[in-house]
Structure 1
């Protein structure tokens, strides 16, 4: 039995619980249908024990779930056996960061909306170090290096053989904040320009001239799952990370990102603005 389930394992169990509750069954009733103890149902839904793909399909049948795409997506989650690179940081970094890397790794598509910072997946080494140095309370030099290496490794989702499609909406304010001074900022902005030329990466900028817009006070990362029910929103807050997967909240953040993207400049105009900012440095 797992003593410390990962965020993804907890999400898997939560989705099974949703299916059971929609069927109007208690954990005891579900156990009776499956010929297993209620505690096994509860432990599975809590992410403490794994199940086979066959068991997932059987549960879906007993729960009268006709959404084949969702059932297959949940079944596929049971076949994951390998430990991701992020596991080496589990005893070093906060659990929310580990769950973030795991979420990014499995996402079908990533969309970000950022006001005050360059998205972590687009930060260069020197810029990222300066950002991490601003964490409160202040981190020790070893902790800074651990977080720095972790952030850079997260970027592998953009460079693997089949890279994850990534769309980032960045406010002009984030582009003009000079973490580390003009030289580092210039390299950082050039990196964004270079990355935006990749086919799977789209960068849009919301200029100061756009004025107010929905979602301006938040840092949002929306991870699309294999089916919409398995989407996840990551919010980066001063007190830590938050993962959101309630259907109503997912709808809300989809709308927020769509409005942010509609407010932002086109990708080509965004590159023109970034070039102009570089010239001002």
Structure 2
């Protein structure tokens, strides 16, 4: 309960929650909290709301570009776990007076704005927001989970690992179709926390000569901008498993990101019985 003091002629102003209060607690890759083999060097946050009950509201995510190797915003149908939209760091236009640090080397604080618009939003409204800043809710999705990901988050000076990549999480506000501020949809419980082990036959079980397979897009809240290779094996107590590969080269500065073969890669080892990762190398 919150009490706000005001005079008789003042309008009542409802205090806005801090960004960290709007998003979920950090879903840590190394916290043994997430199933589906999370990367131990990635942190996740979710904001889930009923799209069917807020079909006239536009969400606005405004924040500072984080200090990390890579970050993205993905939208999921929370009833199925399927990804249907998203935007990654390089695609996000910087706000006026800022520079996208994932496109050009820069210093200082740099800000961005992303809009999540409901299905059926008029193009005239999208044009006013700036279409390059807009991600759309897909038709038929009743419950939307917005996931924010940071890979290798550090402090602003890059000197040490940081849970929030040296910045505040993006603030969430809402607009009506006339672009006037309105109440933010309630943050409801997400099924992301319920992603647990699901044991089923995979191609690697049937094709013994092929150690790794390109994983299909799953229903377990995948990062739509990432490709996954998987392989399963039984490691006996009296044996050692080895494999070799040519590592993909990674860029050394933002100007090289656009044409890079990959920005980040890692090897994650986990248990098929509970789909938790217990070791990652990046």
Structure with the bigger percentage of helix:
1
State the TM-score, normalized to the length of structure 1: 0.24
Q: Which has the higher contact order (CA 8 A, sep 6+)?
A: 2
